Homo-oligomer: A and B are copies of this chain.
Amino acid sequence: RRPDSRPVRSPARGRALPWNAGYAEIINAEKSEFNEDQAACGKLCIRRCEFGAEEEWLTLCPEEFLTGHYWALFDGHGGPAAAILAANTLHSCLRRQLEAVVEGLVATQPPMHLSGRCICPSDPQFVEEKGIKAEDLVIGALESAFQECDEVIGRELEASGQVGGCTALVAVSLQGKLYVANAGDSRAILVRRDEIRPLSSELTPETERQRIQQLAFVYPELLAGEFTRLEFPRRLKGDDLGQKVLFRDHHMRGWSYKRVDKSDLKYPLIHGQGRQARLLGTLAVSRGLGDHQLRVLDTNIQLKPFLLSVPQVTVLDVDQLELQEDDVVVMATDGLWDVLSNEQVAWLVRSFLPGNQEDPHRFLKLAQMLIHSTQGKEDGLTGEGQVSYDDVSVFVIPLHSQGQDSNGP
């Protein structure tokens, strides 16, 4: 089956997404039975809780108090189970985490004590000196929500005898800011008329080399004598014994030479270059959700200790941008970015949007067009042969609609 015969799928046109965002996806070219990418989006209704007389948290007004919006992409591996669980769970974890700190979110400055009681008269000054702002509580809530969701996935997969993991890329709009939380190798960029701004960076065995090597240095037993912590330009072999070869250890950003001994011939903790880099020969990402049971093939060596579920969070102050009609955030799984650069995606956005301002489905069509551009269509852009055989999922989020209510649920 040629990849270009795979269908590009989108939600039914009647179902508007928050902010009239566009979404499209394509299933991989028979790499797996199911689409291992999953997506979720919706309103984030944060209720207000108040500190009750019993020093217990009571939900006093169950109606929503703060409203945010949420878009998320999950790229599964080892089956779709973790990605499906994440798509069904993470927004609830996040809502719960945000509700737990909502009093701090709406204060001019987060109070030292969530109760608002001031135990030390200079408490506000201590908070001020640390530079703690409401946005730090949202970042903290995102960090906690990813971890909580990871625990839920671990329990659910174990209980149902399933396996798998997924990356997670989440955009949350709240109080005039857009938070982008990333754990894995998906990517979000802001595209404006005169600007391309990355809103996430990929977290892979290559970009997190020092953290991963450091852990293996501290806990050598995690490698069970089967792997070497050191990085070499290629896997070493018998002929290299006794030679001085280029290497890097956990504390090094530069390179040096060491004399090769037998233990250096083991398989490397991180092996391969760029998109091919693998952790313990197994995994291409270093952060994500799930993978609690994942082991190196035919061994007892676990991957999970090397993986982080906590995301990297960046904050875009949307209220500070002088927004223009065609300013969008493009979020996509690695299948898109493997074949299109940020510049190519921006070029496609800028070519398409200005001529289609009247079309209510323009962001949907743009998402579909971006996916088509990964399928080797001759569009004068990517050239032939630039084909993604991976799952690809894309959100196009128009920032200009912010605040205007979408016509969806």
Contacts and interface: CB of A to CB of B under 8 A. Distances in A.
Contact of A256 (B126, B144, B239, B257): B144
Given A117-B243, A234-B123, A254 B138 contact: yes
Counting contact residues on chain A (CB < 8 A from B), the size range is: 35 or more
A104 B255 CA distance: 11
Interface stretch (A61-69, A107-115, A261-269, A322-330): A107-115
A127 B254 contact: no
A100 B82 CA distance: 50
Contacts of A113: 240, 243-245
A246 interface: yes
A345 interface: no
Nearest to A134: B255
Interface string A125-136: 011011010011
A40 interface: no
Given A218-B218, A252-B143, A126 B234 contact: yes
Contacts of A119: 237, 239-240, 243
A129 B218 contact: no
Interface string A82-121: 0000000000000001001100100000101111010110
Interface string A190-211: 0000000000000000000000
User: How many copies of this chain are found per oligomer?
Assistant: 2
Contacts of A253: 139, 143, 312-313
Contacts of A104: 246, 257
Given A127-B246, A132-B233, A255 B308 contact: no
Main SS of chain A's interface residues? Answer: mixed
Interface string A263-303: 00000000001100000000000000000000000000000
Contacts of A143: 251-254, 256
A129 to B, nearest CB: 5
B132 A246 contact: yes
A136 B254 contact: yes
A242 interface: yes
A144 B258 CA distance: 12
Nearest to A250: B310
A140 interface: yes
B246 A310 contact: no
Contacts of A135: 254
A137 interface: yes
Nearest to A234: B126
Interface in A202-251: 218, 233-234, 237, 239-240, 242-246, 248, 251
A254 B115 contact: no
Q: Which 4 A-B pairs have the closest CB atoms?
A: A139-B254, A140-B254, A140-B256, A114-B244
Given A110-B255, A112-B233, A123-B234, 4 more contacts: A97-B256, A104-B257, A129-B233, A252-B310
Interface of A: 55, 97, 100-101, 104, 110, 112-115, 117, 119-120, 122-123, 126-127, 129-130, 132, 135-144, 147, 218, 233-234, 237, 239-240, 242-246, 248, 251-257, 273-274, 308, 310, 312-313
